[in-house]
């Protein structure tokens, strides 16, 4: 009996959650601003907000509101009875994502500049529910994207088998179609649920003229006055402010399909790529058999360097439906010839150019400054190469560095590249439009523009302190990370941005603790802070297997609020956990 008892004790799990003390910096701040006392008044808190948190405009009313909310949250006191905070109250306030977030939630960029002056949250093959070859087509991922703030929805439109209606599907694959009208109706219903700024529908059009006329009818009947239809060809794009609550159609005007072919022939090629970077290799979502099947279909897929349309010319007549053409507000298309020709800027004419990720790399290498100049006036859309069968994505920085407004991503995939996209569009109140930094829009006295290859001096240094983490014991099962003991967490902190700024650092591992305390500081010198994203990941160390994922987020450096902040973490798909968060410090020097 005794020996049995001893064996049981041996395997008793150690899951006691200890409440860690506030970090030394929090204690010191409380001591300084409570003037050595046991309580911090609203006026003390206001001074702390102004002097440590960088909130110069904080009022006594703001501070009183925080005190009241902390009391209600911690002590369930509905009425404002106590006007001060204890050290624990103060610590819990700093740890509150709702009251003390690392970035603001309001639209604060100038929204009155032309559309070409903004990065725009852009989806690729927005109708796919999973991989690019065999997943279902549906309006569900479109709705999900719009609710996340995506502002550019891409639809591939094809004739149905009877050639009398229009379906949305990924052409020449096994994807099951969804009706175009269903997609349009869902876009209308959800377009402005998250943001009032315009939604652009990019159509990859594989239709005959009679079906194009049918699409025109669907568009006008579904969207009516919401459609933005300029009287004549645009010479400059309107602003997001001017286009609030409007739907914009972008595709090639019908006659331009034939002209595009010679350009595609010049630019088509395949390039080997690597999805690996300093953060490690991304997992594939396809089985080995699926990937092999997919590779056989590569030549038929949209792997072309420039413009991913797979056009069916057999039934395309030279006449074009005039109504359909009138509905196209942003003309896609390109002149004949190579990349240099495609990047030419036309007087009194604007357009959208599409390049695959490899074509962008090629253009950046040979004509980087021309790309930047092109994107000051015109719109550049970059899309994933066709061999990304598992809906993976590419590094978005190369597009952003060159001013590309529409860096189109597979929102239905997941992985580190998509986390960066989520991070970029947390900017500006998550409204889906982020004003490009001045350096990408300005011109020098001799018409020179930003050169992405130029070596630049350090402009700003970001100091990041990782204090502690909490919430895993609430969001995960006790045995999720380790069967017999609490988890061993470490944090990775890094910068994604221009090549000179990219780096990654790591805290020590805190063993056997659900509420790890690291208290480690890292310094990141930045040459282009305007394009930098702070990458944060937490992992659980596993000696025998791959480390377990425990949360991530990306934050735009330009939006970071200084001081001690609560940073909420997300799962691998980018959905916010209920409770998991870090306490971190941010300072610019």
Query: Sheet of 328-331: strands edge to edge?
Result: 178-179, 166-168, 152-159, 199-205, 247-251, 328-331
CA distances from 166 to 133, 160, 207, 251, 511 (A): 20, 6, 8, 16, 58
Residue 34 and residue 53: Cα distance in Å, rounded? Answer: 16
- The per-residue DSSP string of 243-258 comes to TTT-EEEEE--TTHHH
Active site residue 170: yes
Active site residue 422: no
Length of the chain: 589
CB neighbours of 315 closer than 8 A, spacing ≥ 6?
A: 208
Residue 463 and residue 447: Cα distance in Å, rounded? Answer: 36
Which one of 170, 367, 402, 539 is the catalytic residue? Answer: 170
| Structure token digits, residue 562 | 């200084």
Helix (H), strand (E) at residue 2: helix 2-10
User: CA neighbours within 13 Å on the CB side: how many for 526?
Assistant: 25
Beta bridge partners of 538: 491
Do residues 151 and 200 make contact, with C-beta atoms less than 8 angstroms apart? Answer: yes
CB neighbours of 146 closer than 8 A, spacing ≥ 6?
A: 153, 187, 190, 191, 193, 194, 199
Which one of 124, 303, 331, 422 is the catalytic residue? Answer: 124
Closest among 461, 415, 158 to 277, alpha carbons compared: 415
| Structure token digits, residue 299 | 């030549």
Cite the active site residues.
124, 170
């Amino acid at each position: 009996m005794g020996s049995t008892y001893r064996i049981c004790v041996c395997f008793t799990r150690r899951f006691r959650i200890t409440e860690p003390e506030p970090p030394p910096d929090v204690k010191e701040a409380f001591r300084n601003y409570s003037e050595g006392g046991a309580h911090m008044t609203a006026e003390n808190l206001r001074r702390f907000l102004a002097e440590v948190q960088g909130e110069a405009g904080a009022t006594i009313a703001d501070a009183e509101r925080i005190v009241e909310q902390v009391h209600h949250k911690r002590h369930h006191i509905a009425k404002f009875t106590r006007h001060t905070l204890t050290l624990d109250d103060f610590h819990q306030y700093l740890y509150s994502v709702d009251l003390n977030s690392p970035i603001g939630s309001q639209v604060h960029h100038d929204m009155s500049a032309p559309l070409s002056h903004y990065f725009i949250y852009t989806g690729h093959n927005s109708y796919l529910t999973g991989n690019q070859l065999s997943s279902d087509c549906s309006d569900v991922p479109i709705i999900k994207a719009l609710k996340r703030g995506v502002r550019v929805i891409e639809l591939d439109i094809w004739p149905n088998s009877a050639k009398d209606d229009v379906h949305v599907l990924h052409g020449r694959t096994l994807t099951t179609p969804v009706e175009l009208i269903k997609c349009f109706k869902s876009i209308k219903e959800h377009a402005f649920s998250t943001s009032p700024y315009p939604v652009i529908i990019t159509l990859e059009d594989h239709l005959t003229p009679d079906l194009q006329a049918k699409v025109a009818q669907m568009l006008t009947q579904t969207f009516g006055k919401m459609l933005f239809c300029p009287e004549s060809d645009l010479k400059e794009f309107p602003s997001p402010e001017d286009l609030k609550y409007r739907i914009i159609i972008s595709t090639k005007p019908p006659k331009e399909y034939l002209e595009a072919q010679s350009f595609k022939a010049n630019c088509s090629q395949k390039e080997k790529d690597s999805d690996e970077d300093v953060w490690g290799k991304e997992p594939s979502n396809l089985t080995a058999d699926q990937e092999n099947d997919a590779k056989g279909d590569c030549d038929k897929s949209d792997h072309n360097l420039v413009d991913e349309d797979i056009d069916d010319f057999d039934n395309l007549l030279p006449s074009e439906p005039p109504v359909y053409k009138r509905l196209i507000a942003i003309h896609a298309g390109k002149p004949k010839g190579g990349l240099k020709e495609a990047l030419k800027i036309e007087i009194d004419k604007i357009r959208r150019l599409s390049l695959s990720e490899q074509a962008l790399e090629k253009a950046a290498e040979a004509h980087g400054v021309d790309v930047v100049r092109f994107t000051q006036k015109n719109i550049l859309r970059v899309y994933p190469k066709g061999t990304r069968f598992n809906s993976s994505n590419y590094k978005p920085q190369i597009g952003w560095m060159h001013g590309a407004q529409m860096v189109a991503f597979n929102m239905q995939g997941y992985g580190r590249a998509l986390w960066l996209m989520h991070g970029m569009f947390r900017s500006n109140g998550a409204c889906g439009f982020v004003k490009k930094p001045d350096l990408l829009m300005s011109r020098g006295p001799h018409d020179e523009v930003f050169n992405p290859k130029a070596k630049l001096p350090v402009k700003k240094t970001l100091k990041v302190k990782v204090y502690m983490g909490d919430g895993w014991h609430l969001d995960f099962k006790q045995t999720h990370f380790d069967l017999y003991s609490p988890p061993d967490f470490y944090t990775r902190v890094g910068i994604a941005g221009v090549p000179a700024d990219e780096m990654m650092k790591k805290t020590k591992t805190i063993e056997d603790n659900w509420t790890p305390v690291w208290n480690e500081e890292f310094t990141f010198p930045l040459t282009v802070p305007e394009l930098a994203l702070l990458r944060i990941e937490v992992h659980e160390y596993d000696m025998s297997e791959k480390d377990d994922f425990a949360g991530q987020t990306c934050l735009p450096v330009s939006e970071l609020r200084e001081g001690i902040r609560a940073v909420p973490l997300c799962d691998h798909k980018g959905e916010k956990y209920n409770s998991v968060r870090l306490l971190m410090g941010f300072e610019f020097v």
